[in-house]
Amino acid sequence: MDQYKEEKKRIRLVRADITKLSVDAIVNAANESLLGGGGVDGAIHSAAGPDLLRACAALKGCKTGQAKITPGFQLPAKYVIHTVGPVYRGGMNKESELLASCYQSSLAVASHNNVNTIAFPSISTGVYGYPIEEACRIAIVETLRYLSGHSEITEVTFVCFSDRDLKIYERAMTEF
Ligand code: APR
């Protein structure tokens, strides 16, 4: 059943460094302090420059599952949407609901800021240990659901940082 036939046309899967993408907004997999870290958080902060840290400090943190927006500063992207994914602790601590909320919140913040094109990294699947096979299906289904009611989001890019991750996303996409 091709329930999301139209919405799937607005999703792209790429292997890339998210800091290089010229989209309206890139999403950062941050922590609750919003004061930077390693992984994609570290890459985004070093590419955006020190103004990003100052802007983040002014936001006074972000709860897991929620999202906040800043300018992109020296990044090619106009905005950074910072979201905080759950730390995976076996799956019995509402991790899937919290991860779903990251995608929902980030897309809602995008719509509220006239963002039409947005790129996501694979939230929580690095340091936070969320198994990517499950996490990518949450990413895809939540995004398809959101796109079905929001034509203003014209393109969502899932950015994979390895060929392995890209293959996992590609396989998952065939299930929708
Ligand atoms: N572009 C795209 N994806 C990237 C990049 C990049 N430049 N760098 C890393 N990634 C990928 C990782 O390979 C992984 O698939 O982003 C995904 C998320 O991994 P992490 O960055 O470790 O994020 P997460 O698992 O959500 O952990 C968040 O890590 O860096 C700290 O401050 C951050 O405490 C927070 C925690």
What was the pLDDT predicted at 14?
98
Residue length, the chain?
A: 176
Give the pLDDT mean for 10-19. Answer: 98
Residue of 84, 145, 149, 80 lying closest to 113 (CA atoms): 80
Average pLDDT over residues 95-118: 98
Q: What is the mean pLDDT of residues 91-111?
A: 98
Asked if the model's pLDDT at residue 2 lies above 90, the reply is no
| Ligand 1 atom at shortest distance from the alpha carbon of 43 | 7
Question: Is 70 exceeded by the pLDDT of residue 1?
Answer: no
What lines the ligand 1 site, CB under 6 Å?
Answer: 17-19, 29-31, 37-43, 85, 121-128, 159, 161, 165
Residue nearest to atom 8 of ligand 1 (CA): 40
Q: Residue 9: CB partners within 8 Å, gap ≥ 6? A: none
* 2-174 fold: Leucine Aminopeptidase, subunit E; domain 1 (3.40.220)
The answer to whether the CB of 36 falls within 8 A of the CB of 53 is yes
Sequence-separated (6 or more) residues with CB below 8 Å from residue 161: 15, 17, 40, 121, 122
* CA 123–ligand 1 middle distance (angstroms): 7
Using a pLDDT cut of 70, give the percent of the chain over it.
99
What is residue 98's predicted lDDT score, i.e. its pLDDT? 98
Q: Is the pLDDT of residue 119 over 90?
A: yes
Domain positions in the chain are 2-174
Q: Whose CA is nearest to atom 13 of ligand 1?
A: 161
pLDDT digits (tens, 9 = 90+) for 34-87: 999 999 999 999 999 999 999 999 999 999 999 999 999 999 999 999 999 999
The Å distance, Cα 145 to ligand 1 centre, comes to 24
Mean pLDDT of the chain: 98
Is 76 in a helix, a strand, or coil?
coil
Smallest CA separation from ligand 1 atom 35, residue:
31
Distances (CA, A) of 173 to 118, 142, 146, 167: 18, 12, 16, 10
Q: Is the pTM of this model over 0.95?
A: yes
